[in-house]
Amino acid sequence: MSGAVTRALGVPRAVIRGVLSEAIDFLTEEVDLTEVLLSALDLDRVLQSVDLQAVVSRLDLDAVVAGVDLQRVIEAIDLNPVLARLDLNPVLARLDLNPVLEKVDIGAMVARVDLDKVVATVDIDAVLERVDLVTVGNRVVDGVDLSSIVRDASATVTTEMISDVRSGSERADDAVEGFVNRVLRRKSDDDD
């Protein structure tokens, strides 16, 4: 053995521990050990020697996940870039909306619509420009029994004319009778 080692072995252990403790305290206070270790270690070589599969198999993933604040993670995620790259057409093509639509109460939805507000936004002139009024008019005329209407109207007018003529002739009859009764000095039926 060398002289230094022999002398070191002769020093009591308590003394060695005290010296090492002081040396370590000094080093941790005065020297950045992380920097020293990083410069001295070849981390790639260390990581190549680590069996990551064995490390992962020893992990308690349930405990890891339980310690994660998922709400905070979700709030930190910016979904806009994800959604910008997302093509929904294949998803929508496979989606059967019929079961969803069967559950929708269309009546309740329509009841919530303010139809006056909707109609107020409609350009009536533009709608009427698109309507073929001649075709609409022809359909209306075809659907109406004009001959019956003319016949009924003519019958009504004829009946009213006959009634008017009768009333007029009755009044004329009464006037002539009254004149004749006065000339002949007869008493009229109204005088009774």
pLDDT band (50, 70, 90) for residue 100: confident
Let me know if residue 55 belongs to a domain: yes
Question: pLDDT, tens digit, for every residue of 38-92?
Answer: 788 888 888 888 888 888 888 888 888 888 888 898 888 888 888 888 888 888 8
pLDDT at residue 101, rounded to an integer: 87
Residue 30 lies in a domain: yes
Statement: residue 186 has pLDDT above 60: yes
Last residue of a domain, one of 66, 81, 99: 66
In a domain? residue 158:
yes
Q: Which of 17, 34, 66 is the last residue of a domain?
A: 66
Q: Is residue 6 one of the residues assigned to a domain?
A: yes
Q: Is residue 85 included in any domain, yes or no?
A: no
> Which domain does 3 fall in, by range?
1-66
Domain end, chosen from 15, 50, 66, is at: 66
At 190 the pLDDT is 60
Q: What is the mean pLDDT of the chain?
A: 81
Q: What total number of domains does the chain contain? A: 2
Distance, CA of 125 to CA of 137 (rounded, Å) = 18
- SS3 state of residue 69: coil
Q: Does the structure show a pLDDT above 60 at 191?
A: no
The stretch 96-109 carries a mean pLDDT of: 88
Has residue 28 been placed in a domain? yes
pLDDT at 121: 92
Is there a domain that residue 111 lies in?
no
* Cβ(178)–Cβ(188) below 8 Å: yes
